[in-house]
Structure formats: C-alpha cells, structure tokens
Amino acid sequence: MRAIVKREFIADDFPTPSVHASTLVEVAPGKLVAAWFGGTNEGTRDVGIWLSRSVDTWSIPIEVANGLTGGTQNPCWNPVLFKTDSKRLLLFYKVGPSPMTWWGVMRESFDEGVSFGDAVNLPERILGPVKNKPIQLDSKTIIAGSSSEGHSLPPVWQVHFERSTDGGQTFSRIQVPTQKDSPAAIQPSILTHRDGTLQAVGRTQSGRIFSTRSFDRGLTWSALELLDLPNPNSGTDAITLSDGRHLLVYNHTARGRSPLNIAVSTDGIVWKPVVTLESDPGEYSYPAIVAASDSLVHITYTWKRKKIAHVVIDPARLSKLAE
C-alpha cells in the first residue's frame, strides 16, 4: 500500500535560479500557502522570500519580502509561515549577511496570504522560529523553536525557544541547558505528547538527530540528547498527528542530502523509517511538513536547489508500513 497520494512541483518554472528552505501552512480547508527563499545563490544579496498559494493549483510565485534595509540590500533566509488560532497568518524570516549576523523579521496577513503588512524587525535576541513552524498550546501560548550560530565558546550552535503568552504579539527567549560537550544543534521542530510533554527534535553537527523535552509547557527544557537516527548536518521537520503518532522528515544518511525519508514513532524515541521520498543522487533537503484538515499530510522540500517539491501523504497508510 503506497502512502504517497500526490507528487508535484510548486511551479514548472521558478523565477530565480536557486530556491531553498520552504515553509508550508494550511490557511483554510483545502487552501495551502508555501514560501521559500530564492535568488542567484544562497547568501547572495538578491535572495528574497517568494510565495505561492494553492487551492487546486499553485499560483505563480511572487516575491513578498526582500532584505532592503536602510538603503543596504541583504539576503533573506529561512521563511516560516504560521497561522495563529486568531487566524492571523504570520510570515517570519531572517535578514542579514549570514546566519551568524542575521536578525528576525515578521509580516502579518489577514487575508490568507494574499497580502502582507509592513515588515517589522523583531526585538534584539528574538529571531522568531528559525526554520520550522511554532505550535500553539492555547489561545495565548505559542512556542517557537529557534537557534543561534557562531558562538565563541562551544557548542558553536545552540538551540533556544521563544515563548509567547499573548498570542504572538511578544516573545520571551528560553535557553536550552548546554555544556562544552553538548551537541552543536539548530532548527528544532516541536512535538506534543498525550501527557502534555513537549519534545523538540532537529539538526546537529554530531551525525545524529537531537531531542530535548519540556514538562512545563515550554518554560524549561532538558539538555540535548542524541536519537538513534542519522543526520548529515541537514534540516529536518516533524509533526504530531491527531492520533498521537509522530512523523519526521529527514535525510537518512550520515553524509549528503539524499535519500530523503519519513520516519514514524509513537514515543519520540524509537523511530521507524517508512517512506523514501527521494533516493536519486542530488540534494533533497530542508523539508516542511503539516497535517491538513482532511487528515492528509503535506510535505514540501528543496529539490536540487532548483525547485520546491510538494508531496501529499495519507498517514492512514503508514500503519501497515510501520509494522
């Protein structure tokens, strides 16, 4: 039984020679919005944030943000789309010469991504979700997984979280405990367990995916541990389904960015690879995953830095594959 029910590219022809780091959100039943950064190459000054909307087909990509600040053009990085319970669509992204020096920016939409308000710089030390979508625990509490790079003392990469108690108007920064020998890690995705525990997983320089847990709704987090899943220093994403299972999209390899896989878990500790999305030579990376209102799962990812791929999964078909 095949779990993949649809496979496509968001566009036949992309407006820029290089694309990367897609994000995805369902803004209404059957309505998706995707965004990514695109330009000449990652890190060049012409890299902006591009967006496409889908009901039955994807719209022509348009640029919705650039890095022009005070007369200086900087590249944009890692957009993250997030719809709050109040139906605000937030577009977070980073602007700056490099991940060591970038800053967080946010724009809001009240019409499902048709238009966005002015770009607003986030407060100092608040980056917004660095790659993957936040979660909303109740009408006021939102938790975003974030991280920073280029620390002078090890670990050079460090995970933190940004927590809002006013529906996303303001955020406070919560650091994950680190020691000199802690894994260098970035880009957490947040999972929810039935007992209220939160778990975050993500990318490291240690060859394996990290995990950390919170038992107090994201106020504090445990020190990072390494799961028994490979990670070739490449981005991942994960979700918790309504039935309690967790899905992780990642590169199941110690080197390179192929293959691209889906693994399933019931406890966040033991994971079983169940679907291979890509296995040919090349780069297939930086996935984004969301569960839609019809219970299907949507995934976007970088396809050879040339296109953004979109795959639809029926999670009901994963149960047999996981046995």
Q: Which domains does the chain have, with CATH numbers?
A: 1-122 (2.120.10.10), 138-282 (2.120.10.10)
What pLDDT does 170 receive?
Answer: 96
On the question of pLDDT at 31 being above 90, the answer is: yes
- The pairing of beta strand 48-54 with beta strand 62-65: antiparallel
- Interval 267-285 mean pLDDT: 97
The model's pLDDT over 161-220, given as tens digits with 9 standing for 90+, comes to 999 999 999 999 999 999 999 999 999 999 999 999 999 999 999 999 999 999 999 999
What pLDDT does 323 receive?
Answer: 52
Res. 86 pLDDT band, cuts 50 70 90: confident
**Which residues, in sequence order, are bridge partners of residue 71?**
none
Share of the chain above pLDDT 90, in %: 95
Nearest one of 99, 80, 94 to 34, comparing CA atoms: 80
- Interval 246-264 mean pLDDT: 98
Report phi then psi at 268, rounded to 5: 80, 0
Cα(41)–Cα(308) distance, rounded to whole angstroms? 15
Res. 70 pLDDT band, cuts 50 70 90: confident
- Interval 252-262 mean pLDDT: 97
Cα(71)–Cα(286) distance, rounded to whole angstroms? 31
Res. 87 pLDDT band, cuts 50 70 90: confident
On the question of pLDDT at 221 being above 70, the answer is: yes
- Interval 134-147 mean pLDDT: 96
Res. 322 pLDDT band, cuts 50 70 90: low
Helix (H, G, I), strand (E, B) or coil at 318: helix
Helix (H, G, I), strand (E, B) or coil at 129: coil
